[in-house]
Amino acid sequence: MTDDYFSFTNQLFSPDEVDKKPEALSGIRVLDLSHMIYGPTAARFLAQYGAEVIKVEVPYQGDYWRGSSYWGKYWKHSNPLWHYINQNKYFVAIDVKKPRGKELILELARKSDVIIENFTSGTVEAWGIGYSQVSKENPGVIYASLSTYGQFGPLKYFPGWDLLAQGASGVLSVTGHPQTEKYFKIPDFFGDFFPGYFAAMLIMIALHHRERTGEGQYIDSCQAEILMRALHHFTYVAATGQNLGRTGNFDPTCSPSGIFKTVDNRFVAIAVATDPQFESLCRAMGKEELAKDERFSRAKGRLKEENARLLNDIVSAWVREKKAEELIELGKKYGIAVSPVMDDVDICHDPWRRERGSVLEFNDDMYGKLVMEGPIAMLSRTPGRTKWLSRPIGYHNRYILKRLLGLKEEEIRKLEKERVIGTWDYRVGQRPPIYYDIKRDPIFNYEGGEDH
């Protein structure tokens, strides 16, 4: 039966079948007014599952994250991470500060199911494209304002992003090791990605409510409050009056536990949760007597701080004499909870992730092959997928303005001349790859006809 089950799941979730299946959010239109990472991540999640996401940027400038990159390293004149965050989107460039530009954005808003923005609180209202303005003409809209400190309260005007949200949420206070004054930012942009996924979940809840009632609503999604949900320590303080403090690499519910260095200079994570698991670890180490020691035989004794530290020292000495692969094989043999500590290179080439589709090599019409993350979870009937990478600023201007708003070519050229809409200048991150012939691109030069 086990073999039958796994054959069944292999077929059910096969990456080879993804493009043959429907998309869960097909027919949902999202107007993405956001920038950088937090808001675009929420919009990208919806796009991966079939929503039509239209990203609006400032002509000739674009989202600032386009020109950003780790340590100034670029790929084909673009930020590689930008492609992952903004895959499957349509890119239009409209200047909201010009009256006709604001009108165009409001026209798109009237035709949208969801709107996402993550500017400083009150900014989109000042521009005339906020929830109070849009909802009068589109009462069914789900309007999500994503910010660091929320749309009301004493910190509403404070600027913020990943690192500040990590600090304000309290998450930074539990990083690092006990009895030190060093804290560590959770890399990289955890404070943007994690809340971005929560925002997408909140949007889906609101869409479900609208499906049942016909009512739209406004979402105030606050980074610092979302990250606080990963910090249970304040509940512990309230219940016990004691500060749980920092635990470093210890899991305070498992002993022994930690990250240990191997003889081949790699690292493994080990966390023993139950008495049978501890007995298995002792057999693997050839130290069965530890499982009979009254200090360690039961989990309650192992979790005493002095006993936990002593066990960690014993495990650390054992691990230092083993290679990482040897430890993984021992884990399989004895049922030990052990895992390699993997880095980006390991994950990129990991056959398990490639087989499941959580890491994929996507071949894009404009940019070619790029290895990137696949959908966050596997759905058997409506799986997520990557359809294209990001595109230059204003790439879909004609496609969207003609198809959705019914504008004619002469109207679009007039808007370009008045700089109400536009495309890119020659800065990195904005333009197409230098080898790409944009003049021959049927979407950029869209004249009408079939959809993308």
For 319-357, write each residue's pLDDT tens digit: 999 999 999 999 999 999 999 999 999 999 999 999 999
Q: How far apart are CA 348 and CA 358, in angstroms?
A: 10
How do beta strands 114-117 and 29-32 pair? parallel
Asked if the model's pLDDT at residue 449 lies above 70, the reply is: no
Token duo for residue 211 = 């499906």
Q: How far apart are CA 137 and CA 343, in angstroms?
A: 49
User: What pLDDT score does 308 carry?
Assistant: 96
pTM over 0.85: yes
Average pLDDT, the chain: 94
Check residue 368 and give left, alpha or beta (phi > 0: left; psi -120 to 50: alpha).
Answer: left
User: What pLDDT score does 430 carry?
Assistant: 94
Asked if the model's pLDDT at residue 48 lies above 90, the reply is: yes
Range in 117-121, 133-137, 178-182, 266-270 with the lowest mean pLDDT: 178-182
Contact between 223 and 169 (Cβ < 8 Å): yes
Give per-residue pLDDT as tens, 387-430.
Answer: 999 999 999 999 999 999 999 999 999 999 999 999 999 889 99
What Å distances lie between residue 294 and 299, 300, 303, CA to CA?
Answer: 10, 10, 13
Contact between 230 and 171 (Cβ < 8 Å): yes
Q: How far apart are CA 107 and CA 56, in angstroms?
A: 13
Contact between 57 and 34 (Cβ < 8 Å): no
Q: Which domains does the chain have, with CATH numbers?
A: 2-229+361-440 (3.40.50.10540), 257-343 (3.30.1540.10)
Contact between 120 and 147 (Cβ < 8 Å): yes
Question: Which contacts (CB < 8 Å, 24+ apart) does range 17-23 have?
Answer: 18/357, 18/383, 18/385, 19/385, 21/381, 21/382, 21/383, 22/50, 22/381, 22/382, 23/49, 23/50, 23/382, 23/385
